[in-house]
Structure 1
């Protein structure tokens, strides 16, 4: 009995233990299924089929949970890195109008949601050295100035080589080709296309927009740009980038097979209509799209016969609309309404439109959201937006940013240096850094950025080919002389201004606020941007000289006021002295006053009276008499006819010559011998120096320049100037032979 009782208890104990183990196992299983922890099974239970099935189910559940955890971590990480905006893009750009029914995710079996959430783990949308193409339509002086700010913002953020394609008129071509040639930015190519050749493509379209015919040019890009160019980003000139343009270029990868145009929705109510009585906009899809930023898939557009399609659309709508109100934007929108499957809608932060009555504030919640700012308003910085001050400061940052700082290499990418850059680098390497005059020699090799015709310029040539341009240079501290010069000289003027980017904007505001300057359209203002230690005075003079558009030039300085009527007097002298067929340099006698307020003499007789009274003096008679003594002021007092004078050492008169005269020698920088060397070369080329008997100009007082102060205080400065003089004479002898020896002899006898 006892034996049977023990066996019964043992069975009960085993059954109890078995039940406990099973219950524990079920408890652990439930816990693991809920919390995703590893399941620890006893070795004796692991081999049973039932347990293996349960284990596989637990492991599959665990894998799914780990994947979900990883997805959530990637999502949080991408948000923390400021790339949450990209998550919107994948879905936003393929909404009802853009997505096709047979859209296939780009990453194989991943869903669109999973693809977006794993953006940070995928390869970047643009390869390291992939070339990005950007196109702009740019016509006229103002647009040429605006596009520089756009280019600066792109260059500031970029990490890829760029190729800019500019569709320009003659004015913009001249300005921008000179600017980019002198800017010499590494890994930047520039191409120009003649807008005049494209006008016939769009001139038949009546357009009320202030942009005129150039506002329709973006329709012609499939024809204007090279046929082998696959895709391009098209930008208005009033765009500012706040991110790397490569991000926008990468959006092309998100196009479906059918999409050919990428655009941001219009943020105004224009295309909704009824803004005023009888307001009837062109047809558009919903709010329509803004064409300030466009992704054009050129290869696909050509394939679908884009040129014929937009023409048919325009012809059909013009039958009822009669003209466009928003230029190309109306035609793009009418085309898209008929072909919605062709558009890829970009998130609105790729074109935050800052004009009145827009919904731009809904495009961003943080600064990191901003990608592209579009000042699509003639009022520019005065638009109504609660964050306009922030946008204004961002715009001004690039407006006044030193463009020299953007000449940076793209390391790791093949360099496409132009021959000029290679020659310049070779010349710089030949310089001896231990040379006492190294800084002077380096200055001669410095390539300064030049922005020609910074303001509106209109010049109509005279019929008699006697016109004369006043040529001068100045810096910010002489700006106050401009209004007075314009009052004294009614003819054309070519001025080169040596300024920083920020100073150029100050000058712009000054000129636009001046009643005198803003009404003078025959003044060409050319900005030579500051760089280096010295004022490159002769380089700046040459910029003004090269861009004079008349047969003759009056070479002067900006701190001189010409006598009233000098422009007409000189034109008559040009004819009388037959300057068209002879080599003559007409000398305009120079005087000076020490008074800041002067009753300017209206005639030679009045000037002589003031000279006798001590109100006026012959120029620099008490400081540098050799500079103008050869003018022979004693003879001039009674002269009634032009008279010839001979060259003498250090003679530096102000002269009228043909525009094809020698340029100034650019080795002379700062103060000293910059004009003297030019007169020597005129004499070496056998120009006759003729003093005009009834012409004069008066130097107005001002504080000494920084360069003259350096000359006076630095012995090394003066020694280097003497070295440059000797080298100039040696070059002159090689150029003009024995005839030039008199200049070297005269220099040594001083």
Structure 2
């Protein structure tokens, strides 16, 4: 009901164009601070589910404080910047600078050194921050986080708010000779902590936890549960400093848990904690309920969380203010309004959705294959990985739920699981069109080699193409010349093709009719300038001139122009890019011993829209005309040939 009212008020506000403050009283709304330690690709993915669950229930402005390594910082800073959630601030703190504080502590826990970083928060967070809620990344909220924040008011002299451990770990009876760190009774779980920073600083927390750790390590030798062991040993000595939170603020689902005791006593569970590396495989009779709650937020459309707060002055991001201005300038009666709107839509982007490990060799010839895809092309990935051993940068256009399906697919595939030099970047779906060039640009921007091979995901490169292209880069002196190396494109209509092992084999398949030059029977212009007749006998690279509608697949330096994002869906998305390369005086060089083969698949949804909708075709023509005008403004007289070529068509 609250959501509907909120939506209604916002709609009225937009219609009447007056500030909300003049109609509704604004309450003084408290800013809630949340801190998380988040390192690596997997934790960066997990923390998004936590954030979604908090945003879903919240009615307050929030400030997230992330202690991150370089990977998580890169991922989360772009994610929040592109998410543009109103009344949410985000700050990052460098985990590397804090490592020396805790690296002296031997730790056996799977979280490694990052599992100890919560001890350093009084030092890491701003000195004027008085209190903060500290959360593990595997937490899901089922209620408004403001309820938890309100418990700080109950602290008389306390400094920590914690939930008792729901496992028998600290009782020391799990197995023979099991000797845990000292703790008060069952001890406390540090997945959810209310941390009164100001008071902790006053008692010299930094020295105190160190002394505790040094003392216990003399007999314990290492921590088993990372920061939790040290917090518990300190609390055992200073029990008055802890405020015990009700168990429903951290219902722990782990291997040695007795969390059922908690939720048989209470009716509403407020925080679920999957504190086990096994996560969803935990044996627990209520696990279905918890799993569904968790999956709800895992697959929840994050765009829906961009809503403004009700009864609260909204702090809009500067980007969203700029966009609102751009949106108001659009003419809603324009036949192509939807196309123009797409151009200024900001899509949420989650870089490196899966583990990525690729260190740049000092090799100045390295090349990344760059492509984009959506759910219906997922089956192409394994084959591409078998044909191209070099690095790959892929942007995937998906909904939140599809991104999870993709994750399961990739984790179950032997081929994809073992390839660590593929960067998968999710661009979340929004709007009516496939923003193909925006998605391509995300893949292009995140290639980290000197050269890129701009391909499509439904093409298989010939075996050995990666090495051949690297040699060609040297041979054609790409480092000092503006060149675009063209990889000739072919296609097969057969789903089961015995892939040609060489140019000779490809030519005989062309003669037999099992292969064709790409799109020769539907769109000859797209690749005609490649001059396939010449290519048949060519042994050295040859230069060709640009012609209208040429859209080859090319290798260029990474600093090439980006794709023009006004082109969405089907039509002119690559053509416009090649035209701009030509305007910038790139030489188009056809490689004599390179080829790629297009594999058959069902037509995309967008090509069907293009074929069936006159409005779509009209708007595409309008966008083309505007693109030509922009090109003339940018490149002057040199761009006139594009207009004449267009008119002659």
TM range (shorter): over 0.9
In 1, Cα distance between equivalents of 2:387 and 2:76: 32
**2:253–2:259: 8 Å Cα contact kept in structure 1?**
yes
SS in 2 for 1:365: helix
Higher relative contact order (CA 8 A, sep 6+): 2
Per mean C-alpha deviation after superposition, the further-off stretch among 698-707 and 410-419 is 410-419
SS in 2 for 1:698: strand
**1:126–1:249: 8 Å Cα contact kept in structure 2?**
no
Query: How many angstroms does 1:126 deviate by?
Result: 14
In 1, Cα distance between equivalents of 2:47 and 2:439: 24
Q: Summarize the alignment of residues 152-191 of structure 1 with structure 2, pairs less than 5 Å apart.
A: 152-191=52-91
In 2, Cα distance between equivalents of 1:300 and 1:525: 44
SS in 2 for 1:730: helix
Query: How many angstroms does 1:414 deviate by?
Result: 2.1
SS in 1 for 2:402: helix
**Can you list the C-alpha shifts for 1:185-215, whole angstroms capped at 9, x where unaligned?**
0000000000000001001001010100000
**1:459–1:522: 8 Å Cα contact kept in structure 2?**
yes
In 2, Cα distance between equivalents of 1:368 and 1:655: 61
In 2, Cα distance between equivalents of 1:114 and 1:478: 37
Query: Would you identify which runs of 4 or more consecutive aligned residues in structure 1 move more than 4 Å?
Result: 113-117, 121-128
Query: How many angstroms does 1:365 deviate by?
Result: 3.3
**2:526–2:552: 8 Å Cα contact kept in structure 1?**
yes
**Can you list the C-alpha shifts for 1:575-611, whole angstroms capped at 9, x where unaligned?**
1111111100000000000000000000000000000
Per mean C-alpha deviation after superposition, the further-off stretch among 362-371 and 466-475 is 362-371
Q: 1:142 to 1:114 in 2, by over 3 A?
A: closer
In 1, Cα distance between equivalents of 2:355 and 2:255: 27
In 2, Cα distance between equivalents of 1:334 and 1:585: 64
SS in 1 for 2:243: strand
In 1, Cα distance between equivalents of 2:57 and 2:315: 20
SS in 1 for 2:166: coil
Per mean C-alpha deviation after superposition, the further-off stretch among 739-748 and 648-657 is 739-748
Query: How many angstroms does 1:359 deviate by?
Result: 1.3
In 2, Cα distance between equivalents of 1:414 and 1:369: 30
2:134 is matched with which residue: 210, 234, 240?
234
Query: How many angstroms does 1:249 deviate by?
Result: 0.3
Q: 1:407 to 1:207 in 2, by over 3 A?
A: same
Q: 1:678 to 1:567 in 2, by over 3 A?
A: same
Q: 1:460 to 1:649 in 2, by over 3 A?
A: same
Query: How many angstroms does 1:276 deviate by?
Result: 1.5
In 2, Cα distance between equivalents of 1:114 and 1:615: 58
**2:27–2:311: 8 Å Cα contact kept in structure 1?**
no
**2:25–2:311: 8 Å Cα contact kept in structure 1?**
no
In 2, Cα distance between equivalents of 1:274 and 1:711: 68
**2:26–2:311: 8 Å Cα contact kept in structure 1?**
no
Q: 1:683 to 1:335 in 2, by over 3 A?
A: same
**1:268–1:359: 8 Å Cα contact kept in structure 2?**
yes
Q: Which runs of 5+ in 1 are unaligned?
A: 1-112
Query: How many angstroms does 1:544 deviate by?
Result: 0.2
Query: How many angstroms does 1:128 deviate by?
Result: 5.4
**1:263–1:289: 8 Å Cα contact kept in structure 2?**
yes
Q: 1:502 to 1:464 in 2, by over 3 A?
A: same
Query: How many angstroms does 1:411 deviate by?
Result: 2.7
Q: Which has the larger radius of gyration?
A: 1
In 2, Cα distance between equivalents of 1:271 and 1:126: 48
Query: How many angstroms does 1:367 deviate by?
Result: 7.9
In 1, Cα distance between equivalents of 2:569 and 2:254: 46
**2:351–2:426: 8 Å Cα contact kept in structure 1?**
yes
Normalised by the length of structure 2, the TM-score is 0.95
**2:161–2:194: 8 Å Cα contact kept in structure 1?**
yes
1:399: which partner in 2?
298
1:533: which partner in 2?
432
Q: Summarize the alignment of residues 574-653 of structure 1 with structure 2, pairs less than 5 Å apart.
A: 574-653=473-552
Query: How many angstroms does 1:744 deviate by?
Result: 1.2
**1:125–1:247: 8 Å Cα contact kept in structure 2?**
no
Query: How many angstroms does 1:559 deviate by?
Result: 0.2
In 1, Cα distance between equivalents of 2:499 and 2:278: 41
In 2, Cα distance between equivalents of 1:367 and 1:226: 37
Q: 1:747 to 1:326 in 2, by over 3 A?
A: same
Q: Which runs of 5+ in 2 are unaligned?
A: 8-20
**1:125–1:253: 8 Å Cα contact kept in structure 2?**
no
SS in 2 for 1:690: strand
**2:131–2:197: 8 Å Cα contact kept in structure 1?**
yes
In 2, Cα distance between equivalents of 1:343 and 1:643: 76
Per mean C-alpha deviation after superposition, the further-off stretch among 132-141 and 463-472 is 463-472
**Can you list the C-alpha shifts for 1:129-181, whole angstroms capped at 9, x where unaligned?**
11000000000000000000000000000000000000000000000001000
SS in 1 for 2:264: coil
Q: 1:477 to 1:199 in 2, by over 3 A?
A: same
2:589: which partner in 1?
690
**1:149–1:240: 8 Å Cα contact kept in structure 2?**
yes
In 2, Cα distance between equivalents of 1:432 and 1:279: 71
Normalised by the length of structure 1, the TM-score is 0.83
Q: 1:365 to 1:124 in 2, by over 3 A?
A: farther
2:6: which partner in 1?
116
Query: How many angstroms does 1:355 deviate by?
Result: 0.8
Query: How many angstroms does 1:319 deviate by?
Result: 0.6
Query: How many angstroms does 1:366 deviate by?
Result: 7.7
Q: 1:630 to 1:711 in 2, by over 3 A?
A: same
**2:26–2:312: 8 Å Cα contact kept in structure 1?**
no
**1:555–1:656: 8 Å Cα contact kept in structure 2?**
yes
Q: 1:122 to 1:709 in 2, by over 3 A?
A: closer
**1:126–1:247: 8 Å Cα contact kept in structure 2?**
no
**1:266–1:290: 8 Å Cα contact kept in structure 2?**
yes
**2:395–2:425: 8 Å Cα contact kept in structure 1?**
yes
Q: 1:364 to 1:163 in 2, by over 3 A?
A: same
2:315: which partner in 1?
416
SS in 2 for 1:326: coil
Q: 1:735 to 1:527 in 2, by over 3 A?
A: same
SS in 1 for 2:33: strand
**1:126–1:250: 8 Å Cα contact kept in structure 2?**
no
In 1, Cα distance between equivalents of 2:515 and 2:186: 70
**Can you list the C-alpha shifts for 1:443-472, whole angstroms capped at 9, x where unaligned?**
001000000000000002122211100000
Q: 1:507 to 1:116 in 2, by over 3 A?
A: closer
**Can you list the C-alpha shifts for 1:673-705, whole angstroms capped at 9, x where unaligned?**
000000000000000000000000000000110
Query: How many angstroms does 1:410 deviate by?
Result: 0.7
Alignment length, in residue pairs?
633
SS in 2 for 1:711: helix
In 2, Cα distance between equivalents of 1:488 and 1:364: 53
Query: How many angstroms does 1:356 deviate by?
Result: 1.9
**2:6–2:310: 8 Å Cα contact kept in structure 1?**
no
